[in-house]
Structure 1
């Protein structure tokens, strides 16, 4: 760790924190520009950008403002180390999470947000750690000062004793030294004190009287615990006893003044022996109000960041908007120490807002109470007209607008309100209120806006999901109607086509000898057309029945499927002298008959379009997560790039029937089957350099361990000619 800190010190801890913040801001801005250019909705861009740029701004701000903190400069490197530790810890969590089977974090925005929040968390820990180290250093320094003072006192006492021995009547000189010591102690800005074992004050400086408001006479009659707030008195008594027992003590407590004010103080003391041989506890007390307030502010900011993160996670996990709104209202009111929080839902006419969810309000009004969105002096209307949060410190003196009855009836005086959603089409308002006059910080306002952004994104996501589900339902209904039409049309065409084919063959059998050459040619054309029409109808029937006519999915061994296809194509393979090689293929979840149809159609095409050379085809498989990618590669004539997008369309042919017969429905049927299995199919080809058809299929949940290991390890290709 020391080596790490020295490396960071060489670079500059403060510069490293500022640079890290600047990098996140730059990434957020860059992403926003790219996403906006790509057409991503501005709301989404702003939310993600704020979630990345916000922590970056925190790092940049605190890195720049480090000299203003009560932290020694040599501990800046430690703060930077904590930032990097937070970044590294979050990165490690993401890596470990991605190691889970089927789980991977591949969203760059999510990685940016989580590592940025991890860096900010590290910054908070680093600041706390650095302040503690600084306090320790200051305590050591004050102890050194105390030791020096003690040494000076001892020297003074020694000199006085020597003077008394030499000049018994030299009381004036002794008094002079005492006054000098008093001046030294009174010059110390911090409180100086000397305590006896029972807590009686034996000596103190003027700072004690100035801070507490008690006179010297009053202090002389008081015990040390009487200067401490009641809740900390037992702590002080234990600290005094511990100091006399161990030789030193240190603690923080609330110092109570004569007026009843409590001031946070840090006390440090060590034992020493008086000239009379009495052991006393001498120490210094320092006002830590500013440091305590800074620490509390950092804790508030960290809590606000955590609440936003938790609400964002809840928004991703739940589909219940009202649950999210209730939790958001509760968290906002709690963090800002307000009595009320509300989520107002703007109606379709945009003239009234419904109190949809909230905390602190009278029972029964949530879901019932409404607020005008159009009244000129309405706070809600004013909020809707502005693209930034509206802050009210005292509603009684507010001149911009008046409080609606909902706020007046609940004695509201202060609060923050902001729109939920884009300013031109707001969904509603998020507001939090208190019954006392209150000043809110910029961080408080940003916190409320961040929560509103989380709600807006959740609402937009649900609306999009609803629209998407409706669209999917429409598409499914349309596809079902098309399938029914195709099946009905194909089925109804079978009977007249059989009649045409039968009578054509009767004509050929009965009157073939009486036809001339033209008649025989015309009859042959008619028979061939009827046969091709039957093949197209059969293909269309298969295509329309992929969903309705398929079998239930089950574990299927693709090696067995390939063996069956080779048997079906045996004559074609032997006539073309085709060579088919294959690696060890996996077991997948699917419809065995339809998977056999895919292999047979693709292999038949590979043999048919092999060109002048004997066909050479290789079958392989590679696993990626929960899916297998099966590839069938040939060395045939290939496909032109401009034709590759349409080979999966129904009845699309790239060659004439005289050159390459077929219906043009084979690959379209393959695509339909692959889609039924939740996969994708695609082709990679260059003219004259062969074609590779690849498709994905789902893995079997439970496979034999030895077989899975064999599949994943690969191995030499197996020749299955």
Structure 2
């Protein structure tokens, strides 16, 4: 009878435990999303432990630490221990000791034959643990890692005041069952979190997102509703084409039908949509085929490109404006990259005589004068390598018909479409150079004329001085001898002649001083010194006669001198000798 009752009791307990586990399995499945599964598990286990405490811990794989997520069995002893500890048990973190490192194969409940102080002494001071263990009355410690499909999810620790753990096998089965439930819960939480994240991205994104089934809009995010003029809580159940400008509808219908049939059609294109206030907005649409609640649907991501279009329009207008300025420039403008022209304006064509098509196949070296080509291309190479070279220089060009033109270049380095090159301007200075050459020739001629004029003044002043002195002397002699002997008219006439001679002599002296300041010697040439001396004596004839001076000389040679300058020299020397 005793054996039969024992068997009946075991059978009863077996079915009881099986019913308990079945009930737990259903509760795990139906567990509300906001219920903490760690607390749920701890409460169920603690009901099986009886006289003791249950701690449920999660595992941090990155930090290799466990954290208390739930604690059950709290009584007056535990509350006193918590007061001694100075903080709540939940939230405590412990490093995983090597001797307790989990095994992912067949986890089971095992008893830890180690004082509590040795177990967690690295985290909680031993001075607190010794009396705390005594207050709790712990007689045995059990732990089991929660593992599912090789992944460590956490652990459960039981502190019991009994020598042996009650319901050990049932608790072990419950924990294995809980491991699967925890992993499932973690996966669901991750899915929910991802759904929230992507929902936030969809709802708060700058792009409008629309899902279309059979041409009817079934979903719109906040940005799409904003474009359609709907409040957040309103729905839009109209045809998608109502949202599209009329001229684009046929194209969209055709592409929609082809996409549904599985044909390859563009997934991105630009159209215009009509928003709530009737304004047309240019948009960029990206479409894809998706499954939406069991139906084949089109998801359209719509981006407002109004600002981009406005910017592109502004760029085009700016390019057109500057292109017009460049094309109408009086200077030739070119871009030179990789040894070839990539742009020339009309003025370059006018200067060189080549057509635009011809120039596009040529380089700068092809239109330079051979004598200037090397230095200009060296400038270009130095500029490319950052060496200091003039940005402005002059060089000759050879036109298509072989004529030489002079150009003034202004060049700088640029980067265009990812390629470095040179932006250059050419000013045709051929006419200016011709005028400059003519001016130089005129200046030379004027300089020669001035020199000859100065020489003439010099010669005239010396050649006229002595004849004038002779005239003045004889006029004065007439005045001294015949003054008062002739009539009054004769005296007046003689006075006029004497005064005119004196004034003329003053003018000649002034001209002589001017010629001495400005005259320049003529080139040396063979000169007969006998002739030079005779000219000098002729100029000094009156002074020689009045002073009674006698001038003698030896035979004189022919030498390379400026004859006029030598006459002046001898005249000054002899004149001074007579005076002093």
The TM-score, its normalising length taken from structure 2, stands at 0.26
Structure index of larger Rg: 2
Judging by fraction of residues, say which structure has more helix.
1
Q: Which has the higher strand share?
A: 2
- TM-score of the aligned structures, taking structure 1 as reference length: 0.21
